[in-house]
Amino acid sequence: MKKFLEYVKAFLSGLAFGIANVIPGVSGGTMLVVFGVFDRLMESISGIKAIFKNILFLLSFGLGAGNGIILSAFVISSLFESFGIQTNMFFIGLILGSIPLIVKIGTEEQKAKPSCVIPFVIALAAVVGLSVLEQMDVFRIAPDVVEGFDIIASVKLVVCAAIAALTMIIPGVSGSFIMMLLGVYETIINAIKTFNLFVIIPFAIGAVIGIIGGAKLISTLIKKKKLMTYSAVLGLVVGSVYAIIPDGFGFNLSTGYGFVCLLFGILAAVLIDKFGSLGGDNGAK
């Protein structure tokens, strides 16, 4: 039963990860922390042996992520267009509700100390800085149009996907924002909607390369410097709250409804944590 719950949790966390990575400003890595599978996933994809050892967990997660991406491309994007403030505030609630879990996991082996402030502040400033750049449209590149096989476009997609995928697994950093900066966000979203394999296949190859490479680095940091790594993760996650504060937020009826959604988000994060304790350990295995 525990194994079954573990795979259900992996699917749900993958679903949230996929949804988040399609939504500009929302971090897929943060969703991994919210669901308590961050270091488990990093460890599971940190090498070929680890991948085979955790293949059922990864298949469950991958199935969820794939469904999340498709769901986002069609359904979640409509929610953001029609109920932007409420949807964003639900995600803010999820993030706020996950903070106790981050602190709990980060301090399992070692108590917090004053030096934890340094990685926390640096990470927080990095996310806020990226958010400011996003609002200013700095360095944003026009999207490519790919209608057939093009070797140059395919290589660019592989490289851009690897870079974006590396950032997707970092809590607090929006993979979709990085894709916008690289000029491939609209290209990918349109490819998903039209099932354009000339875009989807090279992008998927690059994403696998970026995720595995990034996971190896993060897994090493968690093993050697868990307290400092999670201090930085906490900074990234807290910073992401600023990054997704919606346009139109203020003293109005939409924001009032938004606070109700925020409370539901916090409740969802608490329930996810409780569910995670039934499905197994939150850490790496």
Determine if the pTM surpasses 0.85.
Answer: no
Residues 6+ positions from 133 with CB-CB distance below 8 Å: 139, 181
pLDDT score of 142: 47
pLDDT tier at 19, thresholds 50, 70, 90: confident
Give the 3-state secondary structure of residue 47.
Answer: coil
Q: What is the pLDDT of residues 188-239, one digit of tens each?
A: 777 777 787 887 888 889 888 888 877 878 778 877 888 888 888 888 778 8
Judge whether residue 263 has pLDDT over 80.
yes
Is the pLDDT confidence value at 171 over 90? no
Handedness of CA 31, 37, 43, 46 (dihedral sign): negative
Q: What is the pLDDT of residues 142-163, one digit of tens each?
A: 445 556 676 777 888 888 888 8
Reading phi first (left if > 0) and then psi (alpha if -120 to 50, else beta), residue 195 is in: left
Minimum mean pLDDT range among 98-107, 138-147, 263-272 = 138-147
More confident residue, 106 or 182: 106
For the four alpha carbons of 225, 235, 214 and 136, in that order, the dihedral sign comes to: negative
**Residue 280 φ/ψ region, left for φ over 0, alpha for ψ in the -120 to 50 degree band, beta for the rest:** left
Q: Alpha carbon of 100 to those of 111, 266, 273: distances in Å?
A: 14, 11, 10
> Distance between CA 159 and CA 203 in Å, rounded?
8
Give me the mean pLDDT over the 25-53 stretch: 80
Q: For residue 56, give the amino acid letter.
A: L
SS3 132: helix
End-to-end, the C-alpha distance of the chain in Å comes to 18
What is the rounded CA–CA span in Å between residue 69 and residue 61? Answer: 12
**CA of 262: how far to CAs of 15, 17, 131, 214, in Å?**
20, 19, 21, 31
In terms of C-beta density within 10 A (0-12 exposed, 13-18 middle, 19 or more buried), how is residue 109 classed? Answer: exposed
pLDDT recorded at residue 118: 93
